[in-house]
């Protein structure tokens, strides 16, 4: 009788033990899946930051308003945090970007502005529209290559450029 009772209890315990092992292995799998998905998300974020160079965080501009402008400015003391673009970001699928290092510039370099663009984007968080201003510039001389830069790359005339 003891053998039968022991056998029955053992048979009942096996599924319970297996279910517990199965849940813990699933939790381990879900932890590893979530960590691998976190790693994937992190690598996607790093990819998106590199693709942000191509197309301003991958967002498409809803509309862009261009205006002729003509003024001279200097590069902001943190100009290198911005990018140089061939086109206004958000207007083309693959926007060519240029390195500041290749331009041989500093904060004392003149930037000749000939156009301004105000791009309208839809904010993914609250679905409201937001505007970003870009200027088309030539660096150092009026005969060089033209680039589009975010307004933050240029000094404002009314500021002393110390409170950014």
Find the mean pLDDT for residues 84-100.
93
User: CB of 162 within 8 A of CB of 96?
Assistant: no
Domain borders along the chain are 2-55, 59-153
User: CB of 62 within 8 A of CB of 49?
Assistant: no
Instruction: Name the region of 74 (left: φ>0; alpha: ψ -120 to 50; beta: rest).
Output: beta
Q: Is 81 helix (H, G, I), strand (E, B) or coil?
A: helix
Strands 63-74 and 110-122: antiparallel
Find the mean pLDDT for residues 157-161.
47
Least confident range of 36-45, 70-79, 90-99: 36-45
Nearby residues of 46 by Cβ (< 8 Å), 6 or more positions away: none
User: CB of 86 within 8 A of CB of 97?
Assistant: yes
Find the mean pLDDT for residues 141-157.
90
User: CB of 87 within 8 A of CB of 95?
Assistant: yes
Share of the chain above pLDDT 90, in %: 48
Model confidence pTM above 0.75: no
Looking at per-residue pLDDT, the higher value among 44 and 108 belongs to 108
- CA-based nearest residue to 151, from 78, 50, 96, 43: 78
């Amino acid at each position: 009788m003891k053998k039968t009772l022991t056998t029955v209890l053992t048979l009942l315990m096996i599924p319970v033990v297996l279910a517990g092992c199965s849940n813990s292995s699933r939790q381990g799998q879900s932890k590893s899946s979530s960590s691998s998905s976190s790693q994937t998300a992190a690598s996607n974020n790093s990819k998106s930051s590199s693709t942000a160079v191509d197309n301003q965080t991958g967002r498409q501009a809803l509309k862009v308003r261009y205006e002729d402008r003509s003024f001279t400015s200097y590069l902001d003391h943190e100009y290198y945090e911005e990018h140089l673009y061939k086109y206004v970001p958000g207007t083309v699928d693959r926007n060519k970007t240029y390195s500041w290092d290749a331009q041989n510039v500093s904060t004392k370099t003149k930037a000749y502005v000939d156009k301004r663009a105000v791009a309208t984007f839809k904010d993914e968080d609250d679905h409201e529209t937001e505007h970003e201003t870009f200027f088309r510039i030539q660096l150092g001389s009026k005969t060089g290559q033209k680039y589009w830069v975010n307004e933050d790359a240029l000094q404002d005339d009314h500021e002393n450029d110390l409170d950014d």
